[in-house]
Structure 1
């Protein structure tokens, strides 16, 4: 499957333009949305934005755009409607055109990938998602466009979110007159209306009751067999056609094969419906059978909304869909099979109730709970395409219904910098050329890299291979084997271990890329061993890998990681690889797909990434500093030699690195220094006003490690060993972050010692735990030293009571309390009775409140 990208442009301006044709105007049935059309027009006349909720079958897709054509605010300009799927875009445009007695491409046209059916007369243009992004990026004023309609927005594709964010920015800064309508069958309309500051209108649907049943699978039953049983049951029990929802083409093909041998399906027309079908086959599915035969339509979620299938009375729903998820193995967003959301399940079931009472059979257990709504793609896919679009738009912050995750966006920008698309956060001229290609930035960088026509044709083959499913049934890790199968297919001798349909799709995709890039050269029939890798390195600069000098199965990657070949790898012995797919592993990642590359070519292509420098580093194995002269490609060490006389000024950096690796416990902590740190951290917790920017510093493990260069590095200057740092130097390094007045305030608020009634100073013990925070400060003192003291001593401006560990004359604990008054009143009499006989030489007065505190025993003779 081809990963969807937010910057995918489906327009090809080199395709022929349509010829006007005169058709018979078809009669338009009444739609539930018709009654709402006047309110829609009134709302848009008064407000530039609108949220429109309408269930499937209400007619919003095909009736709203024509209803706006004569509005005064449109002033003869164009309406652009965004459809998330090519099948739906083409079908909607053709239906609206037929309503006018025209062919698509006249008043109503569409633009989808590699298909452009618009003309100078076109006023309603239905486009797929990447087209809208390109339109706004190429012309931010949207000259000639009066309204943007976002259909089926509940699908929450990344490109739709980006398109809406760009449109809102255009409306706010350049085109106050631009109308924006967000339409959906199932979404949180109230939340979206608040986000857009827009009115919200809801339409009734056209539906009949649908009976829902769960059709359980048998033990270890494959999906295609489970589907066949459910279809057979639906055909035997109910009239009309059956619509089957399956996750993708592969599952559709398997279900089709399973149904081929079924007696129950004899005489029934079994049809597929998905986005990769030829136009003629798609059109056939969307029309009633001319001979009146019953039909079984095996569809992806393209049939969930936007398109209407006539005659469906029963739905069989596998409860699965292929949706984009970021695949760290490949570096792309791949289409994974996932469970659908409850909103999608309800929408699919509703397809059975469009013409009469219907039935829906769900192929998952009734006990299985689905997520209420579909998660937005922006939260779960790789964001390199989005980051490139944002860089091209400029510095203006965009408003997204759900903002892109900051971590994923930062990783995307780092990749774009490696690809040469960004310089810092600014887009480069090469980045703009990449953006114009409308594919994933990795593929764009690779397609634009070669200048030789033969290599450019080979790059088109490689792009098709990277985007498509694996054509080889037996797998293997050599990308060259896939290309060789494609070359053999073109020569009429496709290998037995390859899928001919997959190879045909690859050949077609490569042709489209060659036409898109205006490559006249034919793809080569054979290629040198390094040819694929020499191109692939432009798409995966972070995954250029060199064989480990001591382990031929292990490779060092340019991004600092390591990877390992499988034992039966066809790539064994290659000194350099460009890796297109990796699988994470607890130790080393596994190479799933790669091609060898030429080191000399690598040096010619990326000379700036080969560097030589002297480094003073911490050798963790030897627990000592090592000084070396290194030659590297990115983070791959090509050569390393010991230096006899390293620069002493660089030792401090190496020692700081040592602490980062070994942790803070490698430093010479003393009990007193640990106590000081606990006092500071406790005061920040007890007195929040001291934790501000101008207050006491944060001394957590994480913060100290993050700021080692600030506080520790100066103390390590001139030292060549970590153990040369003294305890006092470490203490002064930590305290250097505080001014003198702050140090005095710490001593006042969290004193080390306190004078007790006996006149003696006793120490206070502080503690701080990374998880539980500040511990109660402890004062351990003999009971007799507190006679006459009524209340528990407090610190931190009186906010924190000490925890008293009251000790016997022998220093053993008698009581732990924070309520000294309560101890004297309730517990002391019992303690006195027990201790008086054991320690007769020490005072045990009846009234501890008035007794004199002492740290001594009673004088002799008393």
Structure 2
């Protein structure tokens, strides 16, 4: 019997679970935890003949783990050990260990919350933090706390934060040392203009030269694997004993098993894998790992409402786990294709923090509560958005309680959007909707020039042509392997939908769009009247087709894939639809409403009566403006265009400047903020009362804005404003001279020099704190001096000014002593 590093720990694991219903097990790759722990628990008294469910994040790993455990028992899969994954199950009446993928557990729990006959749930590779795994763990803890205190829960991983997980579970923690050999880490630099695939192919040649055994290379996805495989084809041709093997989730079962099996004696392998090879599965003979440092993970974009797979940098935990694959059987080497100076995130971000939560929200509605013992709770904003989508799909009611349709969606197992389309499809079109579900969940099978097509119907046509003629298609136009995987998924959907025939031929021009609009009613798109490439979506957003679109001229589309951009989203995939189907299936979304809007060119509010589908305007006719209803449009125009749209009088501008100045000088008075930002934020309070009956801003009276600003002050503040920030000052000549206020600067008093004779010091305002800036003018009104020190001017500067200007302005007084001379604003002083 094979001895694994985990073997000495098995008695302790059994003892811990006998004493405590929860356990955290940390064991590195190769320790044997996946295949040894479940078998070691089968005869435990607390299990009492019940089943063990073991969750694996990936289908490849689930099949491989079940196969290996069955071999250890000398049985076929489906006897004591079986597996259950999407669209595939190998279990029997005697099955005691079921290896399942994460989504299967939630189905089992929703159908039977007591989990009758199940004694333990093992969460393998929990560090991957898939959304379904987090939900499954939270539901299992809830069940254990309320219904099944005897249920055992075991969380296993190679790279999880064991202390944090143990605290969350209130559970003991056992750590296995594992079995590994030293791994030498190398960072071979990339060459100029070298792609990741080219660098990896070059380093593969180096790894084969420097190491014995096989090579495992990690790439983000299927496309990169195919490109790298093509680059290595010549190397395989020159070396018959070398085999290049792909490993990813879209391979057939036979292809996956071939990649996981031992190579022929004397043959070396290069395995090109996605992150499915990070954990849980065993690849014999690996002595070198080449790591691109990339993975493809789902990211939810709340702006577009889409989740899309994005290529991202892996975490340090993933990098360590990948490198560990090189040290399973002997010392090895890990080649990392990124600079050594790059710092990686410590651990993978939980999927719950960045994924579409509509499926999770539906599960929680079915469970009846979101108050679960989460390790990381779902973000409130994303959860609220998901619930709103479910309400729009009629999967939950206004109180977020699940409806009959919502329960049907859960049983179907598709995403809520796609499930809604499937369940609303007529019986005659169920074969086609099965294909559409499979195609929507897969990458496009189109290749070459066809891959640029944004017409989703081209994918359907390619699938049907491949199915009908089995590969009689233009060379390079499609990926036959991708189509085979899509066909397998379509078969699974046909079984679930109780469909016994497959679709074929070319669907009707609107058939695809008419079915999928039920998944995306908010992304129904109507062409603009002025720009044939621009569309308005039912959710109010703008979208556009690219210039070489295959959908040019289509008046109605359902947008199936979008790339969010600053102005309009780019439509990546869409299908035409028949607007009559909208009238038939969504009559409640067709509305007639009166709208008013601001017209910049006319400077006025316009009124229309519109017929709409969602935010799409189908008809519009002008009607008379109701002045009482014009207020929101007027305020929106000012808020958008700024305060300069208002007809400010000079007195209103001056009043506002005085208020700003006194607010800064004497904050204790509590004057309101009249800066642009504050006024725009409070239009409803200070401006709206003065817009009653107005539908043009230039119709405001000249004094209206002064009244509106003045009304913001109470009586005491008005008195303080007149006292401490007066509109004008009386100068020694007896005249009133205006003060000019500029925010952040002292006020300016422009006055002829002769009017200040007899005034010793600079005038002050603001409670005596603020000296006025004097612009001293000649008799002709031209500036002579700018000063805040009038006393110093009389002493030092006036004699020089007098000598210079006395001859130029002989009719005006230029006394030797300005301190005692009578002030005047005339050419000659009046006789006393």
Structure 1 and Structure 2 fold alike (TM over 0.5): yes
1:136 corresponding residue in structure 2? 109
CA separation of 1:289/1:615 partners in 2, compared to 1, >3 Å: closer, same or farther? closer
Q: For the Cα contact (< 8 Å) 1:809–1:839, is it kept in 2? A: no
Pairing partner for 2:595 from 615, 619, 627: 615
Alignment of 1:663-702 (within 5 A): 663-664=642-643, 666-667=645-646, 670-673=653-656
Residue 654 (structure 1) aligned with residue 633 (structure 2): yes
CA separation of 1:531/1:280 partners in 2, compared to 1, >3 Å: closer, same or farther? closer
Q: For the Cα contact (< 8 Å) 2:62–2:100, is it kept in 1? A: yes
Give, in whole Å, the separation in 2 of the partners of 1:131 and 1:409. 22
Pairing partner for 2:182 from 209, 214, 222: 209
Q: For the Cα contact (< 8 Å) 2:435–2:490, is it kept in 1? A: yes
CA deviation after TM superposition for structure 1 residue 317, in Å: 1.9
SS in 2 for 1:627: strand
Alignment of 1:634-649 (within 5 A): 634-643=614-623, 645-649=624-628
1:435 corresponding residue in structure 2? 410
Pairing partner for 1:358 from 332, 335, 351: 332
Give, in whole Å, the separation in 1 of the partners of 2:634 and 2:689. 11
Alignment of 1:376-455 (within 5 A): 376-424=350-398, 426=400, 427-451=402-426, 453-455=427-429
Residue 85 (structure 1) aligned with residue 62 (structure 2): no
1:845 corresponding residue in structure 2? none
Give, in whole Å, the separation in 2 of the partners of 1:765 and 1:163. 71
Give, in whole Å, the separation in 2 of the partners of 1:54 and 1:677. 68
1:23 corresponding residue in structure 2? none
CA deviation after TM superposition for structure 1 residue 218, in Å: 3.4
1:538 corresponding residue in structure 2? 518
1:56 corresponding residue in structure 2? 29
Give, in whole Å, the separation in 1 of the partners of 2:139 and 2:718. 57
CA deviation after TM superposition for structure 1 residue 445, in Å: 1.6
Once the two structures are superposed, residues 385-425 of structure 1 have per-residue CA deviations (whole angstroms, 9 ceiling, x without a partner) of 23333333334434543343444334433433333334335
CA separation of 1:136/1:711 partners in 2, compared to 1, >3 Å: closer, same or farther? farther
1:495 corresponding residue in structure 2? 473
CA separation of 1:276/1:470 partners in 2, compared to 1, >3 Å: closer, same or farther? closer
Q: For the Cα contact (< 8 Å) 1:51–1:192, is it kept in 2? A: yes
Structure 1 or 2, whichever has the larger Rg, is 2
SS in 2 for 1:484: helix
SS in 1 for 2:533: strand
Q: For the Cα contact (< 8 Å) 1:80–1:148, is it kept in 2? A: yes
Q: Which region of structure 1 is more displaced relative to structure 2, 301-310 or 164-173?
A: 164-173
CA deviation after TM superposition for structure 1 residue 549, in Å: 2.1
SS in 2 for 1:551: coil
Give, in whole Å, the separation in 2 of the partners of 1:251 and 1:37. 40
SS in 2 for 1:657: helix
Give, in whole Å, the separation in 2 of the partners of 1:114 and 1:554. 40
CA deviation after TM superposition for structure 1 residue 629, in Å: 1.5
1:824 corresponding residue in structure 2? none
Q: For the Cα contact (< 8 Å) 1:56–1:305, is it kept in 2? A: yes
CA separation of 1:681/1:267 partners in 2, compared to 1, >3 Å: closer, same or farther? farther
Once the two structures are superposed, residues 622-644 of structure 1 have per-residue CA deviations (whole angstroms, 9 ceiling, x without a partner) of 2211121111111111111111x
CA deviation after TM superposition for structure 1 residue 302, in Å: 1.2
CA separation of 1:698/1:443 partners in 2, compared to 1, >3 Å: closer, same or farther? farther
CA deviation after TM superposition for structure 1 residue 560, in Å: 1.7
2:503 corresponding residue in structure 1? 523
Q: Which region of structure 1 is more displaced relative to structure 2, 567-576 or 439-448?
A: 567-576
Residue 596 (structure 1) aligned with residue 563 (structure 2): no
Residue 220 (structure 1) aligned with residue 199 (structure 2): no
Pairing partner for 1:478 from 440, 455, 480: 455
CA separation of 1:547/1:754 partners in 2, compared to 1, >3 Å: closer, same or farther? closer
2:254 corresponding residue in structure 1? 280
CA separation of 1:297/1:671 partners in 2, compared to 1, >3 Å: closer, same or farther? same
2:807 corresponding residue in structure 1? none
Q: For the Cα contact (< 8 Å) 1:269–1:294, is it kept in 2? A: yes
Consecutive unaligned residues of structure 1, counting only runs of 5 or more, are: 1-26, 691-695, 769-774, 795-801, 816-827, 841-856
Give, in whole Å, the separation in 2 of the partners of 1:438 and 1:421. 13
Give, in whole Å, the separation in 1 of the partners of 2:157 and 2:666. 54
Q: For the Cα contact (< 8 Å) 2:608–2:621, is it kept in 1? A: yes
Residue 626 (structure 1) aligned with residue 601 (structure 2): no
CA separation of 1:339/1:610 partners in 2, compared to 1, >3 Å: closer, same or farther? same
Residue 334 (structure 1) aligned with residue 293 (structure 2): no
Q: For the Cα contact (< 8 Å) 1:556–1:563, is it kept in 2? A: yes
Once the two structures are superposed, residues 302-324 of structure 1 have per-residue CA deviations (whole angstroms, 9 ceiling, x without a partner) of 11111122221121222222222
Once the two structures are superposed, residues 543-598 of structure 1 have per-residue CA deviations (whole angstroms, 9 ceiling, x without a partner) of 21222223333322212223333333332222211221233444433333222211
Give, in whole Å, the separation in 1 of the partners of 2:721 and 2:168. 49
Q: For the Cα contact (< 8 Å) 1:271–1:285, is it kept in 2? A: yes
2:233 corresponding residue in structure 1? 260
Once the two structures are superposed, residues 197-239 of structure 1 have per-residue CA deviations (whole angstroms, 9 ceiling, x without a partner) of 4444332121111112223333333444433332232223322
Alignment of 1:250-329 (within 5 A): 250-262=223-235, 265-289=239-263, 291=265, 293-326=267-300
Q: For the Cα contact (< 8 Å) 2:594–2:610, is it kept in 1? A: yes
CA deviation after TM superposition for structure 1 residue 654, in Å: 2.9
Give, in whole Å, the separation in 2 of the partners of 1:702 and 1:838. 43
Q: Which region of structure 1 is more displaced relative to structure 2, 191-200 or 318-327?
A: 191-200
CA separation of 1:100/1:735 partners in 2, compared to 1, >3 Å: closer, same or farther? farther
SS in 1 for 2:630: helix
SS in 1 for 2:110: helix
CA separation of 1:623/1:810 partners in 2, compared to 1, >3 Å: closer, same or farther? closer
Once the two structures are superposed, residues 337-386 of structure 1 have per-residue CA deviations (whole angstroms, 9 ceiling, x without a partner) of 32222221221111111111111222333344433322222333333323
CA deviation after TM superposition for structure 1 residue 112, in Å: 0.9
Alignment of 1:160-179 (within 5 A): 160-179=133-152
Q: Normalized against structure 2, the TM-score is what?
A: 0.81
Residue 187 (structure 1) aligned with residue 165 (structure 2): no
Pairing partner for 2:132 from 128, 134, 159: 159
CA separation of 1:600/1:808 partners in 2, compared to 1, >3 Å: closer, same or farther? closer
Q: For the Cα contact (< 8 Å) 1:545–1:579, is it kept in 2? A: yes
CA deviation after TM superposition for structure 1 residue 677, in Å: 7.6
RMSD (CA atoms) = 4.3
CA separation of 1:72/1:860 partners in 2, compared to 1, >3 Å: closer, same or farther? farther
2:99 corresponding residue in structure 1? 126
Pairing partner for 2:547 from 547, 552, 567: 567
Q: Which region of structure 1 is more displaced relative to structure 2, 247-256 or 713-722?
A: 713-722
Q: Which region of structure 1 is more displaced relative to structure 2, 519-528 or 405-414?
A: 405-414
Give, in whole Å, the separation in 2 of the partners of 1:683 and 1:312. 77
CA separation of 1:838/1:656 partners in 2, compared to 1, >3 Å: closer, same or farther? closer
Q: For the Cα contact (< 8 Å) 1:417–1:424, is it kept in 2? A: yes
CA separation of 1:636/1:793 partners in 2, compared to 1, >3 Å: closer, same or farther? closer
CA separation of 1:748/1:391 partners in 2, compared to 1, >3 Å: closer, same or farther? farther
Pairing partner for 1:580 from 551, 560, 563: 560
Q: For the Cα contact (< 8 Å) 1:248–1:321, is it kept in 2? A: yes
Number of residue pairs aligned between Structure 1 and Structure 2: 773
Pairing partner for 2:488 from 504, 508, 511: 508
Q: For the Cα contact (< 8 Å) 1:780–1:805, is it kept in 2? A: no
Identify which of structures 1 and 2 has the higher relative contact order when contacts are C-alpha pairs closer than 8 Å and 6+ apart: 1
Q: For the Cα contact (< 8 Å) 2:243–2:268, is it kept in 1? A: yes
Once the two structures are superposed, residues 99-120 of structure 1 have per-residue CA deviations (whole angstroms, 9 ceiling, x without a partner) of 3343333333221111122334
Give, in whole Å, the separation in 1 of the partners of 2:710 and 2:142. 50
Consecutive unaligned residues of structure 2, counting only runs of 5 or more, are: 732-737, 750-755, 778-784, 800-817, 823-832
Q: For the Cα contact (< 8 Å) 1:545–1:578, is it kept in 2? A: yes
